Amino acid sequence: MEAEKLLAEPYLSKKPDGDQIKVVTAQENTIVAAGAGSGKTQTLATRFAYLVMSDEKNSVEKILTLTFTEKAAAEMYRRIYLTLKKFADELPECAEKNRAENAVKNFSKAHIQTLDSFSMEIVKQAANLYGIRPDFSVGAADTSSVISELAFSFIMKNREAKSIQWISEAGKFQDATKYFCEAAEKHTSLADSLLQKCAVFRESLKKQAEKISEFFSENDSKIAHVFSVVSDLKISLDETKSNSAEIKKLRNAIQNWENFGEALERIKSQKIPNIVLEKEKAIDWASSDDIRRFVDVLGELDAKPGKSKTVEQVAECHEKLFGENGIASDIFNAIDFIFNYENLRELYSLLDDFVEEVNSYKRRSGSLTFVDSTKLALRILYDQGQIRKELNKNFTKIMIDEFQDNNSSNRDLLLLISRENENGEQIFPDEKKNILELTGAIMQNRLFFVGDEKQSIYKFRGADVAVFNDLKKTIGGKILHMSNNYRSDEMLLDEFNKFFGAIGQPEKCKNYSVFSELNSAQKKFEATYSENAAAKFPVAKKEFLEKNPSEFADKSLHRIHVCMLNTSEKNKDEKKSCLSSKESRIYFIAKKILELNSGEQKIPFKDFAILSKSRTDYAEFARIFSLLNIPFSMDQEANIFAEAPVNDIYTALRLCFYPSDRKCYCAFLCSPFCGIDLPAAQTILAITKNYDLEESSAEMKKAFDENLEKEIAENISEKDFEKYLRAKNFFNEIQDEILREPIAQSITKLWYECGYRYAPLWTKTNEYKNDASSRTWKQTENFMEGQYDLLFELARTADAQNKDVAWFIDQLNVLQENFRGENSELDAKEVNYQTEKKDAVKIMTIHKSKGLEFPYVFICGCANEKEGFRNFEGKIYAVENCAPVVIYNSIKENYFAKKVQSLEKEKDGAEFKRLVYVATTRAINHAYIVGDWAKGEKGLSEAAKEKLLFRIFDFYERNQNDAPFEFIKIDFVEKSQFNSQTNSNPISIKTRNKILGAQNALYNSFDVTKVITTPNLPHFRTSPSALEEKNQYNTYTGYGYTEKSVAQKNAAQEKETPASFSYPQINSFVNSSALAKNEYGTLFHSFMEAWSKNPFEFLPEKIDLQNYFFDESLVQKISEANKKILLETFCKILKTFLELKEKNPALDALQNRREFFAEYKFKTKIHSYIFTGTIDAVFENADGSYTVLDYKTDSVPDEKIYYNQIGCYQKVAADLFTAGDVTKISCILFFAETGEFVEITKNARIAFEKLTDEKIATLIKS
């Protein structure tokens, strides 16, 4: 059957247009540029079906179809199947119908998958040949955290290395950690050390050294000119009468250089040594006094170029050296490279060693990254000719979608399995050759690439749009365009073409479009918006709309709306009564949505999407939309524990695994699973708080103690006790199942089978109405269901990674304690799940919107005054021909980093254009670009004009007749106006009555006949330090001594502890300064707190004595000399503390990363007193017990006076960490001035047990 008949409308839901037919029927290698809304997915599905039906060689298993994401692969799979099924059902009897039927029958054999999964399949075939576990996994969430831990351990082992100290600030080894993590995660892979030890960085350094040597040899004349200009500089400085600070610095730099002229002549006459051939000589040259002073002069000259221009001669010199054609900066930085070469050599060697250590871990654990998988697959195809040959034979056609989001490794992998004459021999990679030189001829009717250079927005994942742009040169074949846009309306498409490509605009507007070519040399990473690729409105769609006009005609003059708030409109005082710029912009969006929702067309909320460049404004959107009763859903939950469902289900899971967790036990009793009211739960907890849970397998199953049931029954109501018994039976039923079943199955059981889903759904009877109160009512119901969906998807992902319930519970605990989830291996931020909100505004990032469409789109974060490109915070960058390059100091002072910065900024700018394109082209009817700028009477600042969208908006504001969009002015919103608006929708009487009725039903279900009263407590408040006993030298409790006992104390020191008392200067220091002894103690405690926060970095030999920060309120009383004495003394004490390893369990806890809390604040009740205090340190021991550590600054150690105080700490720690078991809490004192550890565990417990109200009162009075 001919293609035209085969692709006719009877067999397809819509006949393909001319461009689509060319794409479907293409035979040779083809590159398709498919614009936004061009029907790409269905066209690819139709092409798959056409290939199968038109040639029996193209059976369903012979066509390899690759996509970028799993979601896209699933959609492609569905579309292809349905298209084949339609052909199989609709075609008359013919060969094509038979082939379609066979394809449907064998569709399970189809290879429709992501490129990542295809790479994994290749790696699995050869994993054992490279020492990789055959059961390896790819993309585990914990890989980054493991690499980070390995990096820290590696750095600590090598902390004495000069290069490690060189890249780290004093004591801050986390600085070095960043280098090593980036090296292993971003710039190397397991493929780099398959057959030999990794040498990626060592090889890179050789290339860098070659580049530096080439620079000096190729710029001989220019360098000589620089020396001459610097020689003339002294004459200029002598002649000028200026005494500005910059000129003085320059004069001093030259005057301090003896024999200035002679030295310059020596430098000029010297041949600069080649760092590659004459390493030692080159380093000596760069380190010589002449060169270092020369560098100093260049540095001073470049330090303040703006102010230096006040002196004509110096300004001229600066322009010659550092202007557009000057190379002084490059000379400066190249010399610096040679000067630091030895440090770099050692660092690069360490980086290779660490990468090898990480790769060894990956091989052992089988935990690979996606980069590992891709690079390994490529390496295997080079090495293993038989695998390559088999794959070449297996497929007749290869189609890959969204190729603009891939890179050269992905391209090379496909070319390697598409060789014309595959002989199965090993291919040896050679970076000096291009891929075609390595592979030889490529089959000319096999490859089919689809993409859109204007939609490449995944640079941060390694995507390289230049690879897509170069495909024509790489594979030959033809280029086809799909430019008909079936998504957006005709008027919007016309404005797209004008806004993005100035198509149809007057000549004066040509340089004021998003993709305008301001420079003639088009970069490979730049996208273009040419006439032949411009968006077109399909003829068929136009004819259809003419026959079927819409009921509501959109009378808007524009479809793109630029909505800007001028931050210069109000002064600082006027802004105080207004919402912030951000809040005003979000309020504008909210009011516009409400206006369109309640207007003539009544646009539903689901038709609106807010696409943001980042998620930084999500919290403000949530707050303002909630206040205005606008239903919304976000692509990421800000805090998964913000509402009840996740908390309650987590509590049930945790109690099953940690039945001794009393806090969790109480929360479980109060949850909808049990329904016990809070007073009853508190009573139960009080009865069971001293329950000693044995750590045996039998006892671990019991969270409910049957021996205590009689006492519980006597103290709570009969109805609550019935609930308690039901809770016990329920828990016993589910515990074994939850510990045994997959996590997702357990969560499903708790939600559905155990009935939790009915707790948040009691509003089901409320009928939906289009008013604010009803929306809020329904929104709550759907939100609760969405919380379950989110938790279920997290659990499903954990099951897929073979994680157990214990891991899942622990990671949820990390998320709960730190809602940002920065230390959790559960990726709650990026989880994708279907929500049940049927009518809600969608809030998502631009990246998440890829492939979606919405009638109304609001674009945020692309046109903001404070919005800019990312900071260059990375430590290692890829530099062409010598990557990777370590950025060992600031961007400006690194020869290679300077080139990186320039190129990366250009690439970021190019991707920003594509980001704007992707966001705007999601719109079907209208696109709103929302932002702010500072536009005063003189217009925009020069810096603002450099921003792409600001430059375009500014031009069209002055030429509005030609503008491809409408300008809308956003005003600052008065706070009073906002408050009145957000309170303008009170709950209706009908809704209020429903709520009250439900509340009454809820309260009537509880037995409130028995009231548990809380006794009135006397307002006695104190601190544990008030419980200190007197000793023979004390005349009051606390840290200090009174004047009349100083003589006694000093005599005791000399008589009793002359050998151990190591720091007599502290006593004289305290006595001679205005600093009290207790204030000295406060300073010491803060010093030890600083150590405990960074124990592996805050080391005595690393502390900066000059810049250490003390409490300013205290150090004002101390002279600078005494500050230094004090800090030196503290460092000595810390050194002693660290050396006493056998007596110091705190070090063991820190080194093994067990729980450790410093300056732990608490409040507790003991008898009639409320105690508020701070425990210096409390940490977990290897056996699960805990230790309280208290620092003492007494000159004469006397542990007896602290028994009461430490006994109080012991009780608090037991309540918090060991379910009230004080036998699991050890107590240690560290006497700083004598360097002694004293254990007082038993005595502290005995002393505390003897405390009464009367004794506490006596101690306080004394």
Three-state SS sequence of 383-427: HCHHHHHHHHHHCCEEEECCHHHCCHHHHHHHHHCCECCCCCCCC
CA distances from residue 636 to 180, 440, 672, 790, 820 in whole angstroms, order as listed? 30, 47, 26, 10, 11
Q: What is the pLDDT of residues 232-291, one digit of tens each?
A: 776 666 666 666 766 777 777 666 565 666 666 666 666 778 887 888 888 887 787 777
Rounded CA-CA distance 1146/1143 in Å is 9
854/852 Cα distance (integer angstroms):
7
> What one-character-per-residue DSSP string does 14-73 give?
S---HHHHHHHH--S-EEEEE-TTS-HHHHHHHHHHHHHHH-TTS-GGGEEEEESSHHHH
Q: Given the structure tokens 């991707």, which residue do they identify?
A: 911
Angle formed by the axes of helices 312-322 and 245-255, nearest 10°: 70
pLDDT at residue 184 tops 80: yes
**Domain 19-132+369-482: homologous superfamily in CATH:** P-loop containing nucleotide triphosphate hydrolases (3.40.50.300)
pLDDT over 50 (residue 859) = yes
Say if CB 1178 and CB 1217 are below 8 A apart.
yes
When pLDDT is cut at 50, 70 and 90, the band that residue 520 belongs to is very low
pLDDT at 1186: 94
> Which among 313, 292, 295 is positioned nearest to 303, based on CA atoms?
295
* pLDDT at residue 694 greater than cutoff 50: no
Report the alpha-carbon distance of residue 1043 to residue 1035 in Å, rounded. 9
What's the pLDDT band for 521 if we cut at 50, 70, 90? Answer: very low
Local confidence band at 1059 (pLDDT 50, 70, 90 cut-offs) = very low
| pLDDT, tens only, 117-147 | 999 999 999 888 888 888 888 877 667 878 8
Residue 400 has pLDDT above 90, yes or no: yes
Q: How far apart are the first and last CA of the chain?
A: 107
Phi-psi category of residue 462: left, alpha or beta, with phi > 0 → left and psi -120 to 50 → alpha:
left
List, as one string, the DSSP characters of 249-263.
HHHHHHHTSTTHHHH
Average pLDDT in the 1117-1141 region? Answer: 80
| 401 confidence band (pLDDT: 50, 70, 90) | very high
What's the pLDDT band for 870 if we cut at 50, 70, 90? Answer: low
Confirm if 137 and 392 have CB atoms less than 8 A apart: no
Assigned token pair, 74: 């699933």
Convert the pLDDT of each residue in 1186-1215 to its tens digit.
Answer: 999 999 888 778 899 999 999 999 999 998
**Residue 970 DSSP SS3:** strand
The answer to whether the CB of 197 falls within 8 A of the CB of 214 is no
Mean pLDDT in residue range 307-332: 69
What mean pLDDT comes out for the span 859-877? Answer: 72
Helix (H, G, I), strand (E, B) or coil at 111: strand
pLDDT at 1088 over 70: yes
pLDDT band at 495 (very low <50, low <70, confident <90, very high): very high
**pLDDT one-digit tens code per residue, 846-855:** 998 988 999 9
Note if the bond before 884 is cis, omega within 30 degrees: yes
Q: Indicate if the pLDDT at residue 192 is higher than 90.
A: no
Detail the residues annotated as belonging to a binding site for ATP.
34-41
CA 714 → CA 291, 294, 733, distances in Å? 90, 90, 26
Longest Cα separation, the chain: 116
How far is 1201 from 1256, CA to CA, in rounded Å? 14
User: What is the pTM for the complete model shown?
Assistant: 0.67
Mean pLDDT on 303-310: 49
Q: Which residues are annotated as a binding site?
A: 34-41
Which residue is it, tokens 């809600």? 840
Q: Are 348 and 876 in contact (CB under 8 A)?
A: no
pLDDT confidence of residue 130: 86
Residue ranges covered by each domain of the chain:
19-132+369-482, 140-205+343-367, 220-326, 560-635+838-976, 644-817, 1021-1261
> Per DSSP, which regions of 414-484 are E strands?
447-451, 478-482
Residues 260-264: contacts with CB within 8 Å, 24+ apart?
A: 260/234, 261/231, 261/234, 263/290, 263/293, 263/294, 264/227, 264/230, 264/231, 264/294
The predicted-structure confidence for 995-1051, as pLDDT tens digits, reads as follows 445 545 544 554 444 444 444 445 577 888 888 776 544 433 333 334 434 444 444
| Average pLDDT for 360-384 | 89
Shared fold status for 19-132+369-482 and 560-635+838-976 = yes
pLDDT digits (tens, 9 = 90+) for 537-567: 877 777 767 666 665 666 778 999 999 999 9
Q: Which of 159, 128, 108, 98 is nearest to 1102 (CA)?
A: 159
The CATH number of the domain covering residues in 1021-1261:
3.90.320
Q: What pLDDT band is residue 697 in, cutting at 50, 70 and 90? A: very low
Query: Tokens representing 238?
Result: 């002598």
The Cα 416–Cα 402 span in angstroms is: 20
Q: What is the pLDDT of residue 584?
A: 94
Distance CA 647, CA 790 (A): 12
pLDDT, residue 889, reads: 58
Mean pLDDT of 2-24: 79
**Predicted confidence (pLDDT) at residue 63 exceeds the cutoff of 50:** yes
Given this model, what pLDDT does residue 492 score? Answer: 92
Average pLDDT of the segment spanning 435-445: 80
In this structure, are residues 267 and 291 in contact, taking their beta carbons and an 8 Å threshold?
Answer: yes
Residue 59 has pLDDT above 70, yes or no: yes
| Burial readout 247-262 (b: 16 or more C-beta within 10 A, e: otherwise) | bebbbebbeebeebee
Q: What is the pLDDT of residues 602-611, one digit of tens each?
A: 899 999 999 9
**pLDDT score for 442:** 85
Provide the H-helix boundaries in 741-824. 743-748, 772-800, 805-817
Of 263, 280, 189, the closest CA to residue 227 belongs to 263
Q: Give domain 644-817's CATH number out of 1.10.10, 1.10.15, 1.10.510, 1.10.486.
A: 1.10.486
Say which residue, 971 or 249, is predicted with more confidence: 971
Band of the pLDDT at 592, cuts 50, 70, 90?
very high
CA–CA dist 821, 900 (Å, integer): 32
Considering the segment(s) 560-635+838-976 as one domain, its CATH architecture is 3-Layer(aba) Sandwich (3.40)
pLDDT score for 583: 93
Q: Of 1071, 1043, 1056, 1037, nearest to 1196 (Cα)?
A: 1056
Please say whether the beta carbons of 134 and 127 come within 8 A: yes
Say what percent of the chain tops pLDDT 70.
77
Q: What is the pLDDT of residue 143?
A: 79
Instruction: Report the distance separating Cα 350 and Cα 352, nearest Å.
Output: 5
Tokens of 702: 């019991």
Q: How far apart are CA 1209 and CA 782, in angstroms?
A: 46
pLDDT digits (tens, 9 = 90+) for 1162-1185: 888 888 888 888 999 999 988 889
Place of tokens 């990626």: 200
> Taking residues 354-379, what's their average pLDDT?
90
The whole-chain average pLDDT of the chain stands at: 79
User: What confidence tens digit (pLDDT) does each residue in 1221-1258 have?
Assistant: 899 999 999 998 888 899 999 999 999 999 988 888 88
H helices present in 818-947, as ranges:
895-920, 942-945
